[in-house]
A and B are shown apart, each in its own frame.
Chain A
Amino acid sequence: MKRKGNGYAAAFRAAFPYTIPVLTGYLFIGIAFGVMYQEKGYNFLWAILMSVMVYAGSGQYVAVNFFAPGVNLLHVIFLEFMVNIRHIFYGLSLLERFRGMGKKKLYMMFSLTDETYSLFFVTKVPPEVDEHKFLFAIALLDHSYWIMGSAIGALAGSLIPFDAKGIDFAMTALFIVIYIEQWMSAKNRLAAIVGAAAAVVCLLAFGSENFILPAMICIMAALLCGRKVMEPKEERSVVEHAD
């Protein structure tokens, strides 16, 4: 197919610009994690270890509290599962795109964060780049930003010369931009409304700590029950032909 060796360089070059918003966001929420973890008495090597092995924003924020006397591993399992439960649904959209990725597939599953998942749906794979290598490049770049952020936070969090309060809004802005891009593509607008509306309703009903699981259940139920409305016949056949 393509010349070996060249494929990855081209994939990383093509992927990098798409990941810059994640670079900004991850560096700073990674720094915040590193600072918190370091305050618990863990140096940058621990922060790097955790960010390499776990790679989850909210999951690692929550986990910082586990490093305390009397920690119960069953409690850890339960809380982490609840924090990360939304990820269960992400793979459903990527079953086919990850097929045939061989050894890389394990890493792709591991690195499926909110941000990486979202980027996969707005990035356009350039025609000269292999799609699998492109997706892998996005995942690996995002992961490396997260590791760098954690290390910087643990090493030098207190030395940052300006007040970075509020910089994590970059993540919110990233999701809004992806949401608008999705909206402008004029596909699945109803599903986009369902997702946001279900989240708002469940947030009001269950509070900010517990709303994600009920929201995901409502979204799944609405999407399954409303299939005829969500995806009219004509659109479905278009999608199938595109496949």
Chain B
Amino acid sequence: MPISIQMSLAVIVVVAVVTFITRAIPFVIFRGGKEIPETVRYLGRVLPPAVIGMLVVYCLKEVRVFSFPFGLPELIAVAAVVALHVWKRNNLLSIGAGTALYMFLIQVVFVN
């Protein structure tokens, strides 16, 4: 171990506490039976679709479009997931086949 056991434990505790705080903040602000303002309720309704859109981009943030393989594996695999899902609407099929296709593309097809 590069640092002492005590320091390692301290790092874990700090990381755990900070992570928990970021997740708990809204519940602390609107705790108890406090009336939730209409604007916050509205945000609660429209945020999930917006955040999920953001998370899709977040997952693809390291894709490099200007150098080999030009984001092609991601583009093809994402298109496959979308097409499969619109067609069959089967979560496991879309995710499983899309992931297998992506692995094949980066391990076999687009090898630098």
B contacts, CB < 8 Å to A: 1-3, 7-8, 10-16, 18-20, 22-27, 30, 36, 39-62, 73-74, 77-78, 81-82, 85-86, 89, 91-92, 94-96, 98-99, 102-103, 105-107
Contact = CB atoms under 8 A, between A and B. Distances in A.
Nearest to A77: B18
Contacts of B99: 24, 166-167, 169-170, 173
Interface of A: 18, 20-21, 24, 40-42, 46, 49-50, 53-56, 59-60, 63, 66-69, 71, 73, 76-77, 80-81, 84-96, 98, 105, 109-110, 112, 114, 117-118, 121, 163-167, 169-180, 182, 184, 187-189, 191-200, 203, 208, 211-212, 215-216, 219-220, 223-224, 227, 230-231, 236, 239
Contacts of B41: 96
A90 B10 CA distance: 27
Contacts of A77: 14, 18
A121 B61 contact: no
A223 B49 CA distance: 11
B26 to A, nearest CB: 3
B1 A41 contact: yes
Given A20-B92, A169-B102, A220-B43, A81 B18 contact: yes
Contact of B48 (A46, A59, A121): A121
Query: Which of B12, B14, B24, B40 gathers most chain A CB within 10 Å?
Result: B12
A203 B57 contact: yes
Nearest to A55: B19
8 contacts: A18-B91, A24-B99, A42-B8, A76-B14, A88-B22, A96-B41, A196-B57, A236-B42
A50 B13 CA distance: 9
A209 B107 CA distance: 26
Contact of A166 (B40, B54, B61, B107): B107
